[in-house]
Amino acid sequence: MKKHIGFTLVEMMVALFIGGLVLGGVMFTYLSMKVTTRDTMTIGELQETGRLAMNIMQRDIEQIGFWGTYYEKSMTSENTDTLTNPGNDCFGGLNNGSFPDAASVTNFRSVYAVNTTDNTALSCINNVKKDTDVLQVKFLEGLEIAPAETNNNFYYFIAEQDRGEFRRGPVDAASISGNATVWRYRHHVYYISEQTFTINEQQISVPVLMRKRLRPGSGMVTETIMEGVEDIRFVFGLDTTNNSRVDTYKSIENMTNSDWESRQSILTVQVFLLTRSLMPDANLKLQNQTYTLGEDANKRELTFNDNFRRALFTTTIRLNNVGANLWRI
């Protein structure tokens, strides 16, 4: 009688059972790694968004108070030749346009901020997110420009020790003093807006860090800086005793006109920035997520009950060209 060699039904069932366990373990590991990888990528994107947004604003804020080789403490009709502000200019308060108002009795503001109560701010923004801060900065880039390198795509500040002039390029070397220096002039306004994007065939409302930038011929143009920035808040460190040390911190609500107009009082700017993932995470089980922007009496506390991941960033930026650190050559 010929003997057949093979597996019995019991052996087959045992093999299938063991194979199912192994396959289930592999699938579980794969799904777990997929979720972990997705979470890691989302957290990494939040961190990258916050870091880049901070770096962009920090470069501008650090330049506040820098006016090249111009050493006067104010800009008046006697020591500064100015230009006409563009029709779509961003301004708030007295003498706070793109260029100094020679007829004003107040000092030109190189930094200013407002907290929004609706969707408008600084006469030039009509889509800002409500209850967020808007920052306005005016400064010179840190690299001196040779007249031959100037062009009509930028505004420039021609600086002497006791006299300054705003001028659209190009700057003719023969038209300026031999002791004058030429610097590229900037006027930027940062704010939060909300835009609608199509992601994975879904209409998603995304918070965006925006910027208004002064450009010759166009006035204040609008630029998208970074998607995923949901909120921003600024607190200012002031020297009230003229010893070049921060004596008090003030939120925007507590800042006075004299605080904004002084070229030596604001020494630091605290920045609180909240980033948000672009897409919701259905697996996120956190509820009542609370983030606190600031530690002062006017701190902003935000609580969320959605499925978006968030990260809060904070830094203190020193203004290198104010107080005892006023730029000198």
- Cβ neighbours of residue 183 closer than 8 Å, sequence gap 6 or more: 68, 140, 141, 143, 144, 145, 156, 157, 159
Give residue 36's pLDDT. Answer: 61
Cα separation, 114 vs 136, in Å, equals: 9
Burial class (CB in 10 A: 0-12, 13-18, 19+), 327: middle
pLDDT given for residue 38 in this prediction = 61
Give the whole-angstrom CA distance, residue 249 versus residue 233.
13
The dihedral over CA atoms of 230, 63, 73, 250, expressed in degrees to the nearest 10, equals 30
Determine contact, residues 189/175, Cβ cutoff 8 Å.
no
| pLDDT, tens digit (0-9, with 9 covering 90-100), for 36-70 | 666 667 678 999 999 999 999 999 999 999 999 99
pTM: 0.87
pLDDT of 40 reads 67
Task: Name 125's bridge partners.
Answer: 121
Please identify every stretch of the chain with a pLDDT value under 70, giving residue numbers as ranges.
Answer: 1-7, 28-40, 42, 323-329
pLDDT tens-place string over residues 176-187: 999 999 999 999
pLDDT at 328: 44
Nearest residue to 289 (alpha-carbon basis) of 278, 304, 277: 304
Instruction: For residues 161 and 139, give the distance between their C-alpha atoms in angstroms, rounded to a whole number.
Output: 17
Burial label for 118, CB within 10 Å (0-12, 13-18, 19+), is: exposed
